[in-house]
Amino acid sequence: MRDFREIKVWEKGHRLTLAIYEATSEFPRQELYGLTTQLRPCSASIPANIVEGCGRSGDAELGRFMLISIGSASELEYHLLLAHDLGYLNSRHYRELSQRTGEVKRRLSTFISKLRHSKS
């Protein structure tokens, strides 16, 4: 088992989730059970799956949960684009959140590669 707090990508994912919660708090009220409930869970799923993987035994299990995190980050990218296209996120906010999401995906991918190479 690993301490998730020591994994930099977990911290980045956690901070991204906080930013998503902040951004969605400004969405129209009618989106409370719509796009808000899509963005928040998929963003929180990124660090949550890292934590779950850290609690499992072995690098293979950790890697599997990192892949699930990448999937959640990909879903988040789409929901951010949709929120922007619907006018709920201005261009600056959209770019910032999209860039942060892309950075998390890259870090997850790098982490997975390192896990795979450590098995060889």
DSSP-assigned letters across all residues of 13-56: HHHHHHHHHHHHTTS-GGGTTTTHHHHHHHHHHHHHHHHHHHTS
Q: In CATH, what number does 4-119 get?
A: 1.20.1440.60
Q: Is the pLDDT of residue 79 over 60?
A: yes
With bands split at pLDDT 50, 70 and 90, how would you rate the model's confidence at 1? confident
pLDDT of residue 118: 77
99-109 pLDDT, tens digit per residue, is: 999 999 999 99
Measured distance CA(92)–CA(33) in Å, rounded: 25
Closest alpha carbon to 13 in 57, 36, 49, 46? 46
Token code pair at residue 33: 């059970």
Instruction: Say how many residues make up the chain.
Output: 120
Flag whether pLDDT at 41 surpasses 60.
Answer: yes
Q: How far apart are CA 116 and CA 47, in angstroms?
A: 20
